[in-house]
Chains A and B, each alone.
Chain A
Amino acid sequence: MLVYSLKRLALALVVAVTVSIISFGLLYLSGDPAIAMGGESATAEDIQAIRVFYGFDRPLVVQYLDWVARALHGDLGKSYYFDASVFDLVFQRLPVTLTLGLSAILFAIALAVPLGIAAAVRPNSLIDRLALLISVMGQALPSFWFALMLIVLLSVTYPLLPPSGSETWAHFVMPTVVLGYYATPAIMRLTRAGMLEVLTSDYIRTARAKGLRPPVVLAKHALRNAVIPVVSLAAVQFGFMLGGSIVVESVFALHGAGFLAWESISRNDLPTVQGLILVFSLIYITLTFLSDLVNAWLDPRIRIG
């Protein structure tokens, strides 16, 4: 297990370095950043001055290493738009996005996994059809529309929940449902497919031949095998929710990191975008690493080669 974890960690570090190079390169994606920062009225001297001031005149490798060294000390540069450091901006907004993402993925798992199991145990039954309906709807409903309908129903018609903001847990209920529902279909279908396959396997027949009761067969022998791919999927979905919660964050006016990303892109605030991409990528890499560890714990064939 230790060897496996270290291998995975090394791989995660390699990916992190690659990601850092890519997000560093982003700054140069739109051409010479000094020209972009100087604006239309800048003279050649101004641009040269900006170049020297920000160090754009140095070799790229030096710039990259300098940037990495700063990033490791929590210095991600200054926002072009706000008079604040990117680090502060990102970490001010991140808790909202993390709270939303975490609650949404937990909601999705809590809904999808039991439903997937129930659907697999009785294929083509009423509950299977219901699960299918729920997942098709989750795939088909645009989240902004679903969000607006929830607001109309639960904030306007029946004023039970606040429509916007992020002050209390009540503010997170509707965003969680909308974002979590979006992740439900894939997790449910994968759980169902995994369970269906596992339930016809020889070792399930063995478990039954040993006289184990159906709940034990299901929970102990089938689920652990079926859930292994689901863990990886959930980790990817969670990462996706952190980055992809922009729509939900803007509808519910949750000022999280997703919202910040959208704002920064439209304002051409490259250092902020760069910082966000780096932070999101690192979170993503961490999640993948953790899901690998969970899978190794679940499946001895992974950890004992």
Chain B
Amino acid sequence: MGERILEVENLTVDIPLAVGTLHPVQGISFHVDRGETLCIVGESGCGKSLASLAIMDLLPKRAVRRADRLVLDGKDILNLPESRMCDIRGNTMGMIFQEPMTSLNPVYTIGNQMIETLRRHRRVSVEDARDRAISLLEKVGISAAASRLGQYPHQLSGGLRQRVMIAMMLMCGPDLIIADEPTTALDVTIQAQILLLLAELQREFNMGLILITHDLGVVARIADRVAVMYAGQMVEQGSAASIFTHPAHPYTRGLLDCIPIPGKTRRGQPLGSIPGIVPSLIGTVTGCRFAARCPRVLDVCATDPPFRDGPAPGQAYRCHLDSTGSEPGAGATP
């Protein structure tokens, strides 16, 4: 893989509430290389969306962001003033959101919104920006692109709007695209098209792509690496192949048990599920966040689990159990 596009180290998001402080993101670390697709997986409320907003510095005003390192293209973007962050957003780093129906401004044409993105960051004429918008709309599979520029969002379907959104974020040729559940709000038939489009564009533009999703089917198709989040923490990371063939964390295993596999899952056999609910993220929590739902919980799980190397190179997970499933102390080293 190529150069490192994004490096996130120990990213934390805190949101003060009346009843205590909410800790939706509790010190997560990951990186994305050029030409690489990282999928961040986890159930609703695990902090994956807030983590991505934290990278963009687009968190709600009350939220407090902290990190040891946040590096984009070799430059520290953790302590940048807002005006410098503005120069980066939409330029070297773009974001695609979950709700295509509401993510475009209803009172401006598609063309207006696309052209302003490029002209915000580059000194180009309106005509040149228009030409680029047309070529990008064609690239994302929109027919009659030139006439689409004069249309308003409400004249387009959800799938088309998401394509416009993708094209708009590509206007400046970013190094990194963060896509936050870009297909959740779309029809099932459109979902696959949009994801394959993203994967294709990622290769063509040689960008880094962070795809946030809870759809493991999606992950299996386009991820190079996978990061699994649970209750604000990163519980497992590794190459897509290693996560799918030998998941090490009990939560990852639980997630994989939830999807049917053709030929392996028998008809009528109940699909796996993970009992229990996600713990509250308000106040200080210690110990393994997954302990209350874990089928293999031990006494030691009341203390914070360590990060361990998984069975495959580059795979790591946060658990007291080692990757063969043995209890702590059974192995030679802690």
Contact = CB atoms under 8 A, between A and B. Distances in A.
A212 B86 contact: yes
Of A205, A206, A207, the most chain B CB neighbours within 10 A belong to A206
Contact of A206 (B103, B121, B154): B103
Contacts of B202: none
B89 interface: yes
A12 B108 CA distance: 28
Interface string A215-235: 010001100110000000000
B88 interface: yes
A301 interface: yes
Of A202, A214, A216, A225, the most chain B CB neighbours within 10 A belong to A202
A-side interface size class? 20 to 34
A211 B89 CA distance: 4
B182 interface: no
Contacts of A208: 58, 89
Given A205-B58, A300-B152, A304-B152, A210 B168 contact: yes
Contact of A209 (B95, B105, B107, B116): B95
A203 B102 contact: yes
Given A221-B105, A301-B152, A209 B58 contact: yes
A18 interface: no
Given A205-B97, A300-B152, A210 B90 contact: yes
Contacts of B152: 300-301, 304
Interface string A115-128: 00000000000000
Of A207, A213, A224, A225, the most chain B CB neighbours within 10 A belong to A207
Given A221-B105, A225-B106, A300 B154 contact: yes
B106 A209 contact: no
A225 B102 CA distance: 13
Given A211-B121, A212-B120, A301-B154, A206 B105 contact: yes
A299 interface: yes
Contacts of A224: 107
A299 B106 contact: yes
A10 B240 CA distance: 64
A295 to B, nearest CB: 11
B43 to A, nearest CB: 22
Of A211, A225, A300, the most chain B CB neighbours within 10 A belong to A211
Nearest to B98: A202
Contacts of A212: 86, 90, 116, 120
Interface of B: 56, 58, 82-83, 86-91, 94-95, 97, 99, 102-109, 116-117, 120-121, 152, 154-155, 165, 168-169
Interface of A: 201-203, 205-214, 216, 220-221, 224-225, 298-301, 304
